[in-house]
Each structure stands twice: as structure tokens, then as C-alpha cells.
Amino acid sequence: MPVKESDAAPHNTTSPAAGKELNEEMEITRFSLSFRIQHIILFTSLIVLGVTGLSLMFHDNWFAAFIIRLEGGVETRGAIHRLAAVALIGVSVYHVLCVLFTESAHKELMKLKPGRKDFRDFYQALKFDLGASDEPPKFEKFDYIQKFQYGGVVVGLATMIFTGFILWFETQSMAIVPKWVIDVTFVVHGYEGLLAFMVLFLWHIYNVHLNPNVFPMDKTWITGKISLKNLKEKHYLEYEDVVRKLQENDSRRRPILRGRAHYLRHPFHIRRSAGGLAEMHHLPWEARSQEDRRQRLCQVLVCRRDGSEKVRTHRQDLH
């Protein structure tokens, strides 16, 4: 349930674009802290709801009866189930508000919109898996599987919350709807919960934990970080976008003066010399020794009007 994601801010303070080759072990932020907290609340509440709900649905089974006894009986089981439902409703409402009122969450939602490319990626994935093509599909930030899972979660949660409220306030609901609606709601709520529980454990858990490529688990859901190497393998188009942003940021951090001088902010201070040259002093100056704290080493980049440049090093008294 993506809410906010940083624009691929580098986890390493050293820019990989400083050289010609990128450090592919460098990590970037893929999922924000807000997203990770929502994800934890979501799957925790779903697990509790699944265990407490399915134990009631199959109460005549010996194992379900054993689970109910572990939960403290039928009444305690109901209290636990409702408490988990409140947590699920709360995180769902928070997610909707984030999508509606925050720009970053709205952008993430737009990246989850299905499109024609998803069908082409699915077809290319089939060809690659069947050996008909040597090239795997190139995904953006979210592939078609993640988009399908997100859509399934949205539809499933809406169904579970709506039918859950009817069953929670069954007496009040019977004053509005006929009895058969309550019976259908009970069936839909139970089997929708069973479907969600099976998808959670048989599909999602395999993809993020048991898949040989990520076993024993993909730690991105905990740290929110992913290495450039893994990003290149799983989401190549997002990788290209991240590299482009890193290179643009690096070029902005290394300005070069040519011709007319421009005044920049810290850490550069620029002045004009008597001969009309532009001098760029890099601040702060490095101390050469403990005994000589009042004098620092200063490197000056001198840019002539004809475009040539040279670096002049001298000592300057700070007093």
C-alpha cells in the first residue's frame, strides 16, 4: 500500500556519478517509513483477523476448536477480532487520506494505474519463462503483479469492511435489510477472508520470502532500501530514472565557472581579482596542522575570460 516514497535519495553520501561507473551496491530509498508502518499494521491485522475469523468459520473442526481455546474462548476471540478490525479500518482510512491530500502518495498511486504496458510485460514474461525469448520484461517502479496485488487488496478490504460492519451491528442491520442479506453477508465475509488469507500466505509470502531469488526474505519491507544492483535486475526502467537523477544531482554539486563569474552559495565564495579573473574559493578551508589553526589551505580556481582555467594554491590568514 504505497503512500510515500522518496525520489530515490541515495543512502550513501558519496555520489556514484562522480566517476564513470556507478557503485551498484549503493542503496536508495524505495519505501518511506510511513509506507512501512502501514504495511506492518496491514499484514498484522490481516493475520489476526484470519486466525480469529477462520477459527469461528470452521468451529466444528478440532483444530479450529483448539485455536478458539488458545484465544481465550468465543467471547475473547470476538474482542480480539474486532480490535484487529479497528486497526485495519484505521490504516485503510489513513491510506485513503494520504492518497487524497498528499502529493507524494498521489504520485505513487498514479504509478500503480494499470496500462497497456502491463499486458505487454505479461506477454513478454510468458515468452521469457517459456524460453521463447532471451530478454525479460523491463518493469517500472511497480510491475503488473504488484499492481494486481494492490488492486486486490483495495477491493478485498472494501468488501471485508462493508460486510464486517453489517455483521458487527447485526441487530441494527436486520432492522434495515432482510434476513437473507445477513446470511449472504456472512458467507461473503467468511470466504473473502479465506481468499485473502490464502493469497497472503500462498502467493505474497512466496514472492517476498520463499522465492529462491530473495530467500530467506527481501528486507526492503523492513529497511525501505534497495541496492542499485537489485533495482536494475527487478525494475530496470526505475533504475534508469534513478541513475539519471543521481547524475543530475552530481553535476549540480560540481559547478565550473567559465567566462563571466556567477555568485554561488556556500560552500563556494567567488570574487573578482584586479585582472578581471573570476576566483572561486572552496570553503571551509582545511587545517594543515594543529599549531597553525589561524592559517588554512585555500585552493582557488581561476577562470580566464577565454575559457581556460588553472588551480592556484596559497595560504591565507584567517585573522
DSSP states of 195-246 as a string? HHHHHIIIIIHIIIIISTTTTT--THHHH-EEEHHHHHHH-HHHHHHHHHHH
Q: How far apart are CA 47 and CA 37, in angstroms?
A: 16
Cell 499494521 belongs to 41
Whether the Cβ atoms of residue 267 and residue 285 lie closer than 8 Å to each other: no
3-state SS of the chain: helix, strand, coil percent to 5? Answer: 55, 10, 30
Q: How far is CA 16 from its chain centroid?
A: 21
pTM higher than 0.75 for the full model? no
Strands (E) located in the chain: 27-29, 225-227, 268-272, 278-282, 286-287, 295-303, 309-317
Which grid coordinates are listed for 316?
591565507
The 10 Å Cβ neighbour count of residue 221 is 16
pLDDT score recorded for residue 278:
43
> What one-letter code names the amino acid at 270?
I
Residue-level pLDDT, tens digit, the chain, 319 residues: 544 444 444 444 344 444 446 677 788 888 889 999 999 999 999 999 999 999 988 888 899 899 999 988 888 999 999 999 999 999 999 999 999 999 988 999 999 999 999 999 999 999 998 988 888 899 999 999 889 989 989 999 999 999 999 999 988 988 898 989 999 999 999 998 888 888 877 888 888 888 887 888 888 888 888 888 888 888 899 998 888 888 877 666 655 444 444 433 344 444 444 444 444 444 443 434 444 444 444 444 444 445 455 555 444 444 4
pLDDT digits (tens, 9 = 90+) for 149-172: 899 899 999 999 999 999 999 889
Domain boundaries, the chain: 16-250, 268-317
16-250 homologous superfamily: Transmembrane di-heme cytochromes, Chain C (1.20.950.20)
